[in-house]
Structure 1
Amino acid sequence: MADANRILLVEDDVLIGMMLVDMFDALGLPEPAQATTNDEALAIIGAGSIDGALVDINLGDEKGWPIADALAARGIPFAFTSGGGDIIPAEHAHRRLVAKPFRISDIEAVLDEFSAGN
């Protein structure tokens, strides 16, 4: 990832969130913004300082679809994350899905796609 875009991580599992932050650090990237709920993520997106996002589909009892809709409406690139078994709505079926457990190479690849404008 050539430039230091601000990325939003939406992940309700604290340990997974910490692991992702460590991956950003290992890749030499700035610490991402973090949210654990739809409301937190939508507030960060609304502030307008996000250049891309990794959105966990399952956020406790919520699904991340409102976050995906808000990002898409603003033209902000994003990818879904999931432990598996999720059906992605048709309007977001073309989005990349990064499966858990994460590999640093997968995270780096999706962030590079964001930078390239894909």
Structure 2
Amino acid sequence: MIGLLAGRRMLIVEDEMLVLMHIEAALAELGCSTVLAAANVDQAVGLLSKHNFDLAILDVNLGGEKSYPVADALAKRSIPFAFSTGCGDHGDRTDFEERPVLRKPYVQARLKAVVTQLLTGT
């Protein structure tokens, strides 16, 4: 499939199954064929230790647990990522203030814009 994300590997960290399904469908429409998902920090860190990713989207709040350890691991590996949140912002980590934020619920156009931003670094 040809598209913005053709050949890209995505990590999605999301604990709500319906939200995850929505993200996966939207990414498939953008041409992404490889999406691996984790519902918590331990699963995400495990996937990072076994796979290479081009991009990631992290839900900030995973059942009361913050996704910051995953964000730290992604930043250390220079993997671009965005936060996804139903709250007003992405929390209290000032070192992540410049990271893109997808505010839930979001539409595919916003997802595409953020993914484009991550891919181009703009």
- CA distance, structure 1, for counterparts of residue 59 and residue 5 of structure 2: 24
- CA distance, structure 2, for counterparts of residue 54 and residue 2 of structure 1: 14
Deviation at 1:47, TM superposition (A): 1.8
Change (3 A) 1:83 1:2: closer
Contact 1:3 1:115 survives alignment (8 Å): no
Q: Aligned Cα RMSD in Å?
A: 1.5
5+ residue gaps, structure 1? none
Look up the match of 1:89.
93
Look up the match of 2:33.
30
Q: TM-score, normalised by structure 2?
A: 0.88
Contact 2:5 2:31 survives alignment (8 Å): no
Q: TM-score, normalised by structure 1?
A: 0.91
Look up the match of 2:106.
102
- CA distance, structure 1, for counterparts of residue 80 and residue 20 of structure 2: 19
- CA distance, structure 1, for counterparts of residue 101 and residue 60 of structure 2: 10
Contact 1:54 1:78 survives alignment (8 Å): yes
Partner deviation per Cα, 1:8-58 (whole Å, 9 max, x = no partner): 010000010011111112223214110000001111112241111000000
Counting aligned pairs with the same residue, the percent is: 35
Question: Secondary structure of 1:32's partner?
Answer: strand
- CA distance, structure 1, for counterparts of residue 92 and residue 33 of structure 2: 29
Structure 1 residue ranges (4+ consecutive) displaced by more than 3 angstroms after TM superposition: none
5+ residue gaps, structure 2? none
1:31-46, aligned counterparts within 5 Å?
31-46=34-49
Instruction: Give the counterpart of 1:68 among 71, 92, 97.
Output: 71
Partner deviation per Cα, 1:97-118 (whole Å, 9 max, x = no partner): 1100021011111222232244
Contact 1:10 1:37 survives alignment (8 Å): yes
Question: Secondary structure of 2:105's partner?
Answer: coil
